[in-house]
């Protein structure tokens, strides 16, 4: 029993350790590259967390950015108003986000396809409107500037250089945890729900419980990355919960290749870099971005990761 899962865990852990070591010297390339790498990592957590919901459970969400925003606001408000340590705040942000995930997950149990997409979209819009209109708490559309940085003991985490290593560590842990969840019994049950809900029900799977669980897990990690973002950029605004943010996260998950966890990581990296590369062509940026989504979805529905797998199979013969 322990043998199989233990071996697997060891093998996965080796890959993560390797990736970790490979990424270690990146900040030497300068502040700009470091910042980009940090953003990619934050988006990686969010896109991978959405994959639990979309890729593994087959529930489409167009409101994932709302949980990201909830995490960011929770941690910010706790640390600024109550003097709570940002580390505790980030954790609390994840927990509050997953509480909202539970609140959204229960009524969404019976919904699927476009119905679920629009309900989650509505949730995102409502959260954004709340953040805008509850201005005694959130300062409304102005957003909150001057958020305290993460306390890092001897390290000054205001510098991109040192934040990079903290982010790398936390992202590795978060993605590894998501990976282990997806490989565990929970992940397998979620996939069985995706493949055939009725069949899963008929063999005694508690389908509603696991669907809600998928919401809780997914939104928890989205909240965490939102909190990290808040203490990194040190400015947040209601725009974090905008539909365009949710769509951008969903694009990363799906274009990368959903249901794989590795895909969303690739998607986060590719789309973030693409956005940067397209920055000089300011006006045409979204033209190319939109066209890319259409082309990938039309010709490579299993995403970039699926395409890479296809190529590697070809090469091996």
Partner 1 sequence: MQPTLFIEQTILGLMMGGIYAAVGVGLTMIFGVMRLSNFAHGEFYMLGAFLTYALVMALGGDPYLLAPLSAIAVGLVGIALNKLVFLSLYKELREAKGAAAFFFQDLRFIMLTIGLSILLVDLALVVWGPIPIAIPSVFTSHIVRLPGGLSFSLARIMAFIVATISLIVLYTFLKITKTGKAIRATSQNPSAAALVGINTYRIYDVTMFISTSLAALSGSILGPIYNVYPTMGLDVVAKAFVVVITGGMGNLMGSILAGFLIGLAESWGGLFFGTEYRQVVAFLIMILVLWFRPRGILGGRS
- Contact residues for partner 1, defined by CB under 8 A: 54, 58, 60, 107, 110-115, 117-119, 121-122, 125-126, 129, 132-133, 194-198, 243, 247, 250-251, 254-255, 258, 283-287, 289-294, 297-298, 301
**Whose Cβ is closer to partner 1: residue 88's or residue 129's?**
129
Distances (CA, A) of 148 to 81, 86, 178: 11, 8, 28
Q: To which residue do tokens 């819009």 refer?
A: 125
If the CB atoms of residues 101 and 227 are measured against partner 1, the closer one turns out to be 101
In the complex, what is the shortest distance from the CB of residue 211 to partner 1, in angstroms, rounded to a whole number? Answer: 14
CB of 188 to partner 1, least distance (A): 14
Q: If you ran DSSP here, which 8-state letter would residue 145 be given?
A: E
Smallest gap from Cβ 54 to partner 1, in A, equals: 7
Q: How far apart are CA 249 and CA 202, in angstroms?
A: 34
For partner 1, the closer of residues 273 and 293 by Cβ is 293
Question: Quick one: 225 or 246, whose CB is closer to partner 1?
Answer: 246
Q: Which is nearer to partner 1, 169 or 295 (CB)?
A: 295
In whole angstroms, how close is the CB of 220 to partner 1 at the nearest point?
A: 23
- 26-35 contact pairs (CB < 8 A, 24+): 26/164, 27/160, 27/161, 27/164, 27/165, 31/160, 31/161, 34/160, 34/161, 34/164, 35/160
Distance CA 285, CA 259 (A): 28
Please, what is the minimum distance in Å from the beta carbon of residue 217 to partner 1?
A: 19
Q: What is the nearest approach in angstroms of partner 1 to the Cβ of residue 232? A: 26
H or E, element range at 144: strand 144-145
Angstrom distance (rounded) from CA 33 to CA 15? 23
For 262-306, the DSSP string reads HHHHHHHHHHHHHHHHTGGGGGGHHHHHHHHHHHHHHH-TTHHHH
317 three-class SS: coil
Nearer Cβ to partner 1, position 7 or 195? 195
> Measured from the CB atom, is 84 or 201 closer to partner 1?
201
Nearer to partner 1, 100 or 164 (CB): 100
Q: Which residues contact 165 (CB under 8 A, 6 or more apart)?
A: 24, 27
Closest CA to 35 of 148, 170, 161, 152: 161
CB of 191 to partner 1, least distance (A): 9
Minimal distance, residue 72 CB to partner 1, in Å? 21
């Amino acid at each position: 029993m322990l043998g199989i899962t233990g071996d697997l865990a060891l093998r996965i852990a080796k890959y993560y350790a390797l990736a970790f070591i490979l990424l270690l010297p990146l900040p030497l390339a300068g502040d700009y590259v470091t910042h980009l790498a940090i953003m990619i990592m934050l988006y990686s957590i969010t896109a991978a967390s959405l994959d639990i919901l979309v890729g593994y459970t087959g529930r489409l969400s167009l409101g994932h950015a709302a949980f990201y925003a909830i995490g960011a606001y929770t941690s910010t408000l706790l640390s600024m108003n109550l003097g709570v340590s940002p580390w505790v705040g980030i954790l609390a942000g994840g927990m509050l986000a997953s509480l909202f995930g539970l609140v959204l997950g229960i009524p969404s149990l019976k919904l699927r396809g476009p119905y679920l997409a629009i309900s989650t979209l509505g949730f995102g819009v409502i959260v954004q409107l709340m953040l805008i209109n509850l201005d005694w708490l959130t300062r409304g559309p102005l957003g909150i500037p001057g958020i305290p940085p993460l306390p890092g003991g001897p390290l000054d985490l205001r510098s991109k250089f040192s934040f990079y290593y903290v982010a790398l560590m936390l992202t590795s842990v978060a993605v590894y945890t998501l990976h282990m969840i997806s490989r565990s019994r929970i992940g397998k049950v979620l996939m069985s729900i995706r493949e055939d809900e009725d069949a899963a029900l008929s063999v005694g799977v508690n389908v509603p419980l696991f669907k809600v669980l998928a919401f809780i897990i997914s939104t928890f990690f989205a909240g965490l990355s939102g909190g990290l973002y808040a203490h990194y950029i040190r400015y947040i605004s209601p725009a974090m919960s905008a539909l365009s943010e949710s769509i951008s996260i969903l694009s990363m998950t799906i274009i990368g290749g959903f249901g794989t966890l590795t895909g969303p990581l690739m998607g986060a990296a590719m789309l973030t870099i693409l956005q940067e590369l397209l920055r000089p062509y300011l006006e045409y940026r979204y033209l190319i971005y939109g066209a890319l989504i259409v082309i990938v979805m039309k010709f490579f529905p299993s995403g970039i990761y699926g395409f890479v797998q296809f190529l590697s199979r070809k090469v091996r013969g």
